[in-house]
Amino acid sequence: MNIGQIFHVIPWWVFLLAFLIFKMGMRATKPQVLPLKKLYTAPALLVLLALDNLWGQIVSGHANILAWLSGSVFGGWIGWKVALSMTLEFDHDKRLVKLPGSWSVVAIMLIVIGGKVIVGYETSINQGAVATSLLMSAIFAVS
């Protein structure tokens, strides 16, 4: 896959979406105060992407539920460990949480976007790209 093929095959809006998500991730590198309900936006988006990936595999007949569940358990464990290591401050009256800055959000978002682009490209070129699809299933579940 060369650069010319990437720009030819991938729709323009994917690059716009990647830029906006990267911008959100860069904001997360600095400490910030958020309403508790906003704290669930990114994880909900990632879960939807993972379920979309799993559904696509089920429809195509290449689903590997075990890889997805294993990735989910592993990702949940990593998330739990990261959450335990964070120092959070809460304002219970205003329902706010102060988050420390972290590069992990940028890394996760770039992995998910990159993975979706790679799987989309590989499956459009090679319909039998089951190994790539299974690998990405595990990565999406971990995220």
pTM across the whole model: 0.56
Token output for 76: 């949940």
Instruction: Give the pLDDT of residue 123.
Output: 64
Percent residues over pLDDT 90 in the chain: 6
Q: Which of 114, 1, 133 is nearest to 63 (CA)?
A: 133
Residues 65-78: tens digit of each pLDDT: 777 777 778 878 88
Q: Report which secondary-structure segment, H or E, holds 29.
A: none
Asked if pLDDT for residue 1 goes beyond 80, the answer is no
Q: Are 112 and 49 in contact (CB under 8 A)?
A: yes
